[in-house]
Chain A
Amino acid sequence: MTLIKETDFGTPAATSETMVTLTVDGFDVTVPQGTSVMRASVEAGIKIPKLCATDMVDAFGSCRLCLVEIEGRRGTPASCTTPVEPGMVVRTQTGRLKDLRRGVMELYISDHPLDCLTCAANGDCELQDMAGAVGLRDVRYEAVDTHFRAKNTSGEANPQWMAKDESNPYFTYDPAKCIVCSRCVRACEEVQGTFALTIEGRGFDSRVSAGMHEDFLASECVSCGACVQACPTATLQEKSVIEIGTPDRSVVTTCAYCGVGCSFKAELRGDELVRMVPYKDGKANRGHSCVKGRFAYGYASHKDRILNPMIREKITDPWREVSWEEALSFAATRLRAIQYELGKDAIGVITSSRCTNEETYLVQKLTRAVFGNNNTDTCARVCHSPTGYGLGQTFGTSAGTQDFDSVEQTDVVVVIGANPTDGHPVFASRLKKRLRQGAKLIVVDPRRIDLVKTPHVEAAHHLALRPGTNVAVVTALAHVIVTEGLFDEAFIRERCDQDAFADYAEFVSDEKHSPEAVESLTGVPAQDLREAARLYARGGNGAIYYGLGVTEHSQGSTTVIGIANLAMLTGNIGRPGVGVNPLRGQNNVQGSCDMGSFPHELPGYRHVNGQEVRDIFESMWGVSISDEPGLRIPNMLDAAVDGTFKGLYCQGEDILQSDPDTKHVSAGLAAMDCVIVHDLFLNETANYAHVFLPGSTFLEKDGTFTNAERRINRVRKVMAPRNGYADWEVTQMLANAMGGNWSYTHPSQIMDEIAATTPSFANVSYALLEEKGSVQWPCNDKTPDGSPVMHVDEFVRGKGRFIRTDYIATDEKTGPRFPLLLTTGRILSQYNVGAQTRRTGNVVWHAEDLLEIHPHDAEVRGVKDGDWIKLASRSGETALRTKITDKVSPGVVYTTFHHPTTQANVITTDYSDWATNCPEYKVTAVQVMPSNGPTDWQEKYEEFSTLSRRIEAAE
């Protein structure tokens, strides 16, 4: 294990297919047209000294260190900004070049502090490297004015000197060390797309500045870390490197936060994690990251982490630390006792979208093979289950159709009910890059998300619909496409079911689905909607990206079907640049669905009533599998209240905080005899648990995650599990305590079992992942390299199937008591229920959940910015503070749900999607009124939590 040093080619790769041959120092090299001389030289194995160039950003040509001589040209052009030409003869190392370079370096060094030995970047500094590379041996003159001396020789303050900016929790900016190469500025613009940095002033006075002379924290900076990576010196430097020192080995692994699934190098010294650096070869992120994956890993070593198993008789007792054996036998005995008394269906499991595929597979296997029922569900139920249903019905499989690279070929992007800059930041950066190149954007969202207008990006249309009217809007878009004859006839004839199309065309053509007819209902101006439909249908490659704003509705599945209909109507399926792409919330939502977490289907989306499918698993596992669907999470809770379901093993999920209608969830949990929580922290669900099994972080185990593009990425063990066992081992121990007789010794064996039983994974193995880095399922004999784009020649189900999408208004309606509509979402720096991010430096950006309310609605209620307000629905009430903003329309309020004290889900109701029971998080009728602080319920809950978290250490 060594430190991986990726080659810096100096300038980005060119994409041309025309090749050009030239010679560099006598060696022939052939590269695509448009490549820089610098990059061509690196390809030939010759590194030209450079400072201002790096391959993550376009060349700028300011440092003049990369000079070369080219036969037949005068002067010494900069190799980073000079494109190759056929037959070019380049020389990189001549007497004249050497002198010039030394001169350049002398100037740089004369205005740079020479404290290399104590500098955090010592050994990892390009300025240092270049001084060495050009053979700089002495600096002939001493600068009178410098940027790095706080005081001049007579002790007066130096006006050129600026203090270190340490405001960001994760990195520092030390202007004294800056060489003004502008790599950071370009990284922020080109890679991240935030435009937070500028170079102020000119010549000797020029400086990097965040925002308008602000510190980093106060500026627009979103702490993605791109500038820190780009910086050749210690000017922008991770605080962890300053504290610990430079790393000496790296392990490539996958971020455990969101569905983008970025690849990182975990860089360590010994077993101490020094930093996480995005991996250039990562196919989802291409070397970029966001604040969560790059910096927010501190929760892994947080003091709240529970490292020993614990049990208790009753949930009112304090926890008792016990040995693994005792905890497991306690759990096994209780679970078997429940089954003995109430039947084998009285217990079940909840799998996690945060754990690995292998772990999820084992948890559903636990219930199917050891408990003997199909009572397995997952938190994907509460986010993307409608995607599974909707895309399954129309296309034949439950997954996004593209890879993320596809966005680079998109002409019209439609974003529906998603907020990528907060929810899927690295994808958002790639999307913004494409939009800056001229692709058009249509946003369908009640809220003016940041993407609608950010630097150098502006949506062509923002359809700010009323929450809950997605189906009406999507159907109206289809109405325009059909009635105006904008559909792709050839595609439909060749690829889709004709009867279904005829039926659908007749259905949507009805005048009642026209934009004019639904305008009063949806609040979207008809003309705007028509233009958006025309743009999507006729603007070139059209791609739809959607999120929880689509799925978390009573008609979530219907909207997904409507979206699939739109893509089929316009022929936007089956090639790069188009498609239907669900943006998945948690890191492994895709994987947990693939792995058979749902009660009605075995791994690979195959219904339990299929005899052939059951046969495969029955012979592999040596058990018989029930052909009846098991219970979903809400059904488990209902059954618990009825007294027929009493035991639950819940891995890596906090259902009390993430599921709707908190009071219903707590009543269900409280009615059980054996709740086993397997997690990193005593989460909210653990307040109702009898057994706590400590979990391991993604840094502590091997496995795979599957991201939103169906990409199976390796998770690699970076350090030993602090709790003693990886999560898959814990599940195995529980299974064996109940007579399971499992004997896996490595997660690769679990993947082999998955491949042997699940056709879309048939060729997946750890060896293949090692070789290819990652692979997108389906990966089998038909597509041995995996499938970046799905439904290429035909749909998975054969012919694409159009399905009618009637709009049915949700029963959650506003009225005199609850006149406002609440919708919920997430923000960049926090993640889901926040259990991890709240335990990192990220809290500086989001210390509490706030209620966004339009100035008009605030005024009539006498509420000011930052006031405590009471938020009430027919389910319950909670209190939080306000943020007054016109990002939300009048009549709509918005909040996040990252903090347990807010308990936003006390407010949400138990309405849910008709097909999958995915809860309707996105629409709740509420009232807002002034208040003095937390509600009684919140205070009581705080008290109860504290009480139920008492731990008695083992004697």
Chain B
Amino acid sequence: MSPEKLTYMANQIAGFFRTRPRQEAIDGVADHISKFWAPRMRAQLFSMIEQGGAGFDPLVLDAAPSIRKVG
């Protein structure tokens, strides 16, 4: 999928959890993406973050390490 769309979707999820206490928000985002995103989408997310993660909500970046790994 287009990188813009993927970034947009991840940031939308961050938006829902944003006003929670920090750790809860991080867990919320990580859990949601782990549960609902197919491996291919998570792989794309990880590789975009590796390449700098421009455009991602900081909450997504903070959540990334706790998102389920691929493979």
Chain A residues close to B by CB (< 8 Å): 345, 375, 507, 554, 557-558, 599-600, 607, 609, 628-632, 635, 638-639, 642, 644, 804, 806, 808, 910, 914-917
Contact = CB atoms under 8 A, between A and B. Distances in A.
Interface string B5-49: 100010011011011100000000000100111111100000000
Contacts of B32: 915
B20 A600 contact: no
A719 to B, nearest CB: 41
A689 to B, nearest CB: 23
A421 B54 CA distance: 48
Given A635-B1, A642-B1, A910-B5, A558 B16 contact: yes
Contacts of A642: 1
A600 B42 CA distance: 14
B38 A631 contact: yes
- Going nearest first, the 9 A-B pairs with the smallest beta carbon separation are A638-B1, A914-B12, A808-B15, A631-B38, A628-B39, A629-B38, A806-B19, A914-B16, A914-B13
A630 B38 contact: yes
A628 B38 contact: yes
A562 to B, nearest CB: 12
Contact of B37 (A345, A554, A629, A914): A629
B42 to A, nearest CB: 9
A600 B18 contact: no
Contacts of B40: 345, 631, 635, 639, 644
A806 B16 contact: yes
Given A600-B35, A600-B36, A629-B35, A915 B9 contact: no
Q: By DSSP majority rule, is chain B's interface helix, strand, loop, or mixed?
A: helix
A632 B40 CA distance: 12
A269 B12 CA distance: 57
Contacts of B12: 554, 914
Contact of B13 (A609, A629, A915): A915
A935 B41 CA distance: 36
A609 B34 CA distance: 10
Nearest to B18: A806
Interface residues on B, range: 10 to 19
B46 to A, nearest CB: 14
Given A609-B35, A635-B41, A638-B1, 12 more contacts: A375-B38, A507-B19, A558-B16, A599-B38, A628-B38, A629-B37, A631-B38, A632-B38, A635-B40, A638-B5, A806-B16, A808-B15
A345 B20 CA distance: 36
Q: By DSSP majority rule, is chain A's interface helix, strand, loop, or mixed?
A: loop
Given A914-B13, A915-B13, A635 B38 contact: yes
Nearest to B14: A914
Contacts of A639: 1, 40
A914 B15 contact: yes
A630 B35 CA distance: 10
A594 B1 CA distance: 29
20 contacts: A554-B12, A600-B36, A607-B35, A609-B35, A628-B38, A629-B35, A629-B36, A631-B38, A631-B40, A632-B38, A635-B1, A638-B2, A639-B1, A639-B40, A808-B16, A910-B5, A914-B12, A914-B15, A914-B16, A917-B9
Contacts of A916: 36
Nearest to B11: A914
A631 B19 CA distance: 29
A806 B19 CA distance: 8
Max chain B C-beta neighbours (<10 A), residue from A375, A557, A806, A916: A806
Given A638-B5, A639-B40, A910-B5, A915 B16 contact: yes
Contacts of A375: 38
A283 to B, nearest CB: 35
A557 B32 CA distance: 13
A339 to B, nearest CB: 15
Nearest to B13: A914
A638 B1 CA distance: 5
Contacts of A600: 35-36
A644 B37 CA distance: 16
Contacts of A632: 38
A917 B9 CA distance: 9
A558 B40 CA distance: 26
A404 B2 CA distance: 44
B69 to A, nearest CB: 11
Max chain A C-beta neighbours (<10 A), residue from B16, B19, B41: B16
A507 B20 CA distance: 10
Contacts of A557: 16
A236 B1 CA distance: 58
B40 to A, nearest CB: 7
Contacts of B41: 635
A323 B22 CA distance: 61
A635 B9 CA distance: 12
A625 to B, nearest CB: 15
Nearest to A805: B16
A417 to B, nearest CB: 19
A833 to B, nearest CB: 25
Contacts of B15: 806, 808, 914
Contacts of B5: 638, 910
Contacts of B19: 507, 804, 806
B59 to A, nearest CB: 13
Nearest to B6: A638
Contacts of A635: 1, 38, 40-41
Max chain A C-beta neighbours (<10 A), residue from B9, B36, B39: B36
Contacts of A629: 35-38
Contacts of A638: 1-2, 5
Contacts of A804: 19-20
A207 B40 CA distance: 70
A413 to B, nearest CB: 29
Contacts of A915: 13, 16, 32, 36
B15 to A, nearest CB: 5
A507 B16 CA distance: 14
Contacts of B9: 914, 917
Contacts of A914: 9, 12-13, 15-16
Nearest to A626: B39
Contacts of B16: 557-558, 806, 808, 914-915
Nearest to B16: A914
A404 to B, nearest CB: 32
Contacts of B35: 600, 607, 609, 629
A632 B15 CA distance: 21
A171 to B, nearest CB: 49
A915 B20 CA distance: 16
A599 B35 CA distance: 10
A807 to B, nearest CB: 10
Nearest to A607: B35
A916 B35 CA distance: 11
A558 B32 CA distance: 14
A568 to B, nearest CB: 19
Contacts of B18: 806
Contacts of A599: 38
A553 to B, nearest CB: 12
A916 B13 CA distance: 10
A582 B61 CA distance: 35
Contacts of B20: 804
B18 to A, nearest CB: 7
Contacts of A630: 38
A915 B36 CA distance: 9
Nearest to B1: A638
Contacts of A558: 16
Max chain A C-beta neighbours (<10 A), residue from B1, B5, B15, B40: B40
Contacts of B39: 628
A26 to B, nearest CB: 70
Contacts of A631: 38, 40
A150 to B, nearest CB: 70
Contacts of B38: 375, 599, 628-632, 635
Nearest to A630: B38
Max chain A C-beta neighbours (<10 A), residue from B9, B16, B38, B41: B38
